[in-house]
Amino acid sequence: MKFARYEFQGEVAYGIVEGDWVRRISTTPFAEYEPTGTRHRLAEVRLLAPCLPSKVLAMALNYKSHLGTYQAPKQPEPFLKAPNSVIGPGDTIVLPRDAGRVDEEAELVVVIGRRCRKVPPADALGYVLGYTCGNDVSGRPWQRGDMQWWRAKSSDTFCSIGPFIATGLDGSRLDIRARINGREVQRGNSSELLYDIPTLISFISQVVTLEPGDMVFTGTSGTPAELHDGDTVEVEVEGIGTLLNPVRAEG
């Protein structure tokens, strides 16, 4: 099943994707809901970020192919992306004027379905609603030079998510690709994660309570590519869909 969050004629709602249609549900995927009789063609609605997380945690160095000269971490290494950075499909990624090099990072994103605190790895997947596509946009000079990654990772528009939340997937073996202007620049599979999804959720939940709608970016593979003014960047995850965003330079 796939859930969408969308706007139609000024009203925001959640729905279940049925082919080229979306059927509105009575509440949200994070509560008890009922399908309604209201349907719209996907082409007629504006898809939004599939939820509004209270927090986003993302993993550093969680693929061997992304380590470069770094040693593999001895434990999961999460960092925070602020909610102000969240955008949805079709929204514009804005390159800050003085950021220098800004890269895309294609990732599988875990969407938490219910309150999650101090869970063991064996139980962690029971707290997952589903998965979505994510682009962990990253300002490299700020990432290297600042004491904290607050602007490198949390500048406005630096957390693109969508287009849907897909349930019922095996998150341990999904293909993940990125394209810029139609050219493939990244390809990986979640089977290559150094720390798997249950381990990540359990590790985070020991000290941070994850709420419904919170997200965990699981890490990026290989060598991400630089974004430029006028680009179109896509992140495609098997079983979910394709997240597309135009890119423009500030000012």
Q: pTM score, two decimals?
A: 0.98
Query: What backbone torsions phi and psi does residue 240 show, to the nearest 5 degrees?
Result: -115, -55
φ/ψ region of 163 (left if φ > 0, alpha if ψ in -120 to 50, else beta) reads alpha
Question: Tens of pLDDT along the chain (251 residues)?
Answer: 999 999 999 999 999 999 999 999 999 999 999 999 999 999 999 999 999 999 999 999 999 999 988 899 999 999 999 999 999 999 999 999 999 999 999 999 999 999 999 999 999 999 999 999 999 999 999 999 999 999 999 999 999 999 999 999 999 999 999 999 999 999 999 999 999 999 999 999 999 999 999 999 999 999 999 999 999 999 999 999 999 999 999 98
The rounded distance, in Å, linking the Cα atoms of 248 and 251 is 9
Q: Are 109 and 118 in contact (CB under 8 A)?
A: no
Please tell me whether residue 96 adopts helix, strand or coil conformation. Answer: coil
Q: Are 147 and 230 in contact (CB under 8 A)?
A: no
